[in-house]
Chain A
Amino acid sequence: METGLEHYLIVSALLFSLGLLGVVLHRNLILMFMSLELMLNAANLTLVAFSRFNNDLDGQLLVFFIIAVAAAEVAIGLALIVALFRRRQTTSTEDIATLKL
């Protein structure tokens, strides 16, 4: 069977739900963050597949921008986690349930 757009979309949907499962399941901020990256990758795969099958390069350019923003986002997020760990000595979401530091 010839691989079409649907095949890529289904792989991307499964990858996205795997990432969602990780975000819900884990209580460690870093593992949640990694699952978030998985979800972001699934969205990127959708964009590239749509771009290819609609003969339009705009989708690929959007993915390029998303990757750049993701790099900035990961740097900031990990810096926040490190700053939090310095203050509270934990990265578990159960221990940081209050807004007060």
Chain B
Amino acid sequence: MTDLLFYLLSSFTLLFGALVVVNPFSRNPVTSAMFLALAIISTAGLYVLLHAFFLAAVQILIYAGAIIVLFLFVIMLLDLREEEQKRFRLLGLTGGVLGSLAIATAIIATITVAEPGAGKTPEIEGTTRQLGNQLFADYVLPFEIMGLLLLVAMMGVILLSKKQLR
């Protein structure tokens, strides 16, 4: 059952990821953003299979809920219609396909040689309680710095989107 779900969710992730990058039916960036949301939700399903329940919820809330909405707002604000007529350059296409194939082959060859998961039995659960215990016991300072970082990011965005930077 778990194996079936794994193959289903990972093929969904890869299919929707491919449709974000190259969509044969539509060149509209809004479609890409929607498929990115679907790819992210499938990844959240993979997190559930890995017993990372809290991260799956965070992934859906922050990525699919906030980041994709931000992308959609900007796409609609900029009204990117001219993208639909553009074609890919031949050099970029061959270079991109060859480069990413080379990277994928190198990583997969390394994984098959190294066998990193041999002899391990997973038993941890990434529930909210366990993550929270470790977060507020060992990682309080990074957590506080993260709050500061988000504040700085918010101020930066407000500054950047002002009409004149005076």
Contacts and interface: CB of A to CB of B under 8 A. Distances in A.
A64 B63 CA distance: 12
A24 B92 contact: yes
A80 to B, nearest CB: 6
A54 B120 contact: yes
Q: How many residues of A sit at the interface, in one of the four size bands?
A: 35 or more
Nearest to B77: A82
Interface string A52-91: 1111111011011101111111111011111101000001
A11 B115 CA distance: 15
Q: How many residues of B sit at the interface, in one of the four size bands?
A: 35 or more
Q: Which of A18, A55, A80, A85 has the most CB of B within 10 A?
A: A18
Contact of A14 (B78, B104, B117): B104
Nearest to B78: A85
A24 B103 CA distance: 13
B58 A64 contact: yes
A35 B29 CA distance: 12
A59 B62 CA distance: 18
Contacts of B70: 74-75, 78
Given A37-B67, A75-B70, 6 more contacts: A16-B103, A51-B52, A53-B122, A67-B63, A68-B62, A81-B78
Given A45-B46, A78-B74, A6 B116 contact: yes
